Amino acid sequence: MKPPHDTKPPPDTKPPPDMKPPPDTKPQPTCDQKYGTAASYKLCSKTATSCTFYTKSNDTCSNVCKKFGGSCQAAAAEVSDSCSVSYITPCSTHHGDGLCTCSK
């Protein structure tokens, strides 16, 4: 004798919802927003991932970048308080003033 109907539960037809958190869509701050309060700050150039600026910090670019939540990517001595590079230096070189390239 056959049962009057199928007793198997119906198969799940939908996969479980994706439980991954949404991607981080928080916008990055601009160079001016992130580093604009550095001593004598003047933005020289920017890319999608870095900011190059003049500063009269009397410190190393490593410390300047770190102070604002970034990391030093390059450092240079400048010509006459400008964005013109005189010569490249290590990020750990102490400058009275200079050019720092920091991560965004």
24 in any annotated domain: no
pLDDT category of residue 69 using cuts at 50, 70 and 90:
very high
C-alpha closest to that of 30 among 50, 10, 16? 50
Range of the domain at 44: 31-103
**Are the C-beta atoms of residues 59 and 41 closer than 8 Å to each other?**
no
96 in any annotated domain: yes
94 bridge partner residues: 60
The model carries a pTM of 0.75
Burial class (CB in 10 A: 0-12, 13-18, 19+), 53: buried
Q: What is the pLDDT of residues 32-60, one digit of tens each?
A: 999 999 999 999 999 999 999 999 999 99
82 in any annotated domain: yes
83 in any annotated domain: yes
In the predicted structure, residue 23 carries a pLDDT above the cut 80: no
9 in any annotated domain: no
In the predicted structure, residue 14 carries a pLDDT above the cut 80: no
69 in any annotated domain: yes
90 in any annotated domain: yes
Q: Which residues contact 38 (CB under 8 A, 6 or more apart)?
A: 53, 55, 57, 64, 67, 68
Mean pLDDT, residues 3-27: 59
Task: Name the domain count of the chain.
Answer: 1
